[in-house]
Amino acid sequence: MPHLPREADRLLINEIYRSLEGEGLDLGLPMTFVRLTGCPLRCVWCDQPEAFFEGKEMGLDDVLARVAELGTNRVCVTGGEPLAHRQCPALLDRLLAAGHRVVLETSGAFPIEGLPPSPDLCISLDVKCPGSGMEDRNRWENLPHLAAKDQVKFVVVDRADYEYARDVLRQRRLPCPIILQPEGGRDLKPLATWVLEDRLDVRVLPQLHKWIWGDARGV
């Protein structure tokens, strides 16, 4: 992990940009992304390793001003791992107070209790499958804190990952939409076939940004 600011009003920011949401329930909608630097996890398939260390300090006022300049009501706070920053709840509060609908993307390895109880905050929580190499970091006690407005995502590398996700869904009651996404974000057919065979009530979704822009950053 990089050295993170200790000041209550400063964050280490990797990038802020406007694009289309490539994942989850807001797939295809215009979105402003606030990507924070730093993550203690090292998922095998991580497609944002630049966010491990690269970034610059910004004050909350400057982050909010940049988001306002980009002119999109929807904001995704992502990383890295946003909840590694103790200032993340304050950032969420400020974005919500400014009238934004906010999606918080988190690895699921940090506590989510105590986040702003707003209907305009969607927690997008990963459950790490074995193919990530990080399944031992799943914080199962987060799941009861999710609500219908939130979403849970599984990134599926192979059949073993799919069976892991299927078993989690059969063993645990989740109150929100479930998304299964193939690793790499493009090859949907195997995952779609398995879901239909097992009659799972989940969404199988791609990473739209990879279809449009490939692996380019900041789009």
135: domain CATH number is 3.20.20.70
Would you state the pLDDT for residue 167?
97
Residue 86 DSSP symbol: T
Specify the number of domains making up the chain.
1
Mean pLDDT per block of 10 residues along the chain (219 residues) reads 74 95 94 95 89 90 97 95 94 97 96 93 98 96 96 97 97 95 90 97 90 70
5 found inside a domain: no
| Amino acid 199: pLDDT | 96
pLDDT at residue 47, rounded to an integer = 82
| Whole-angstrom Cα Rg for the chain | 17
User: Looking at residue 216, what is its pLDDT?
Assistant: 66
Q: What share of the chain is helix, strand, coil (3-state, %, to 5)?
A: 35, 25, 45
Structure tokens at 210: 């990879």
Counting Cβ atoms within 10 Å, is residue 88 exposed (0-12), middle (13-18) or buried (19+)?
A: buried
4 domain residue, yes or no: no
CB of 145 within 8 A of CB of 119? Answer: no
- Asked, for residue 1, whether it belongs to a domain, the answer is no
Q: How far apart are CA 134 and CA 153, in angstroms?
A: 14
Question: Does residue 117 lie in a domain region?
Answer: yes
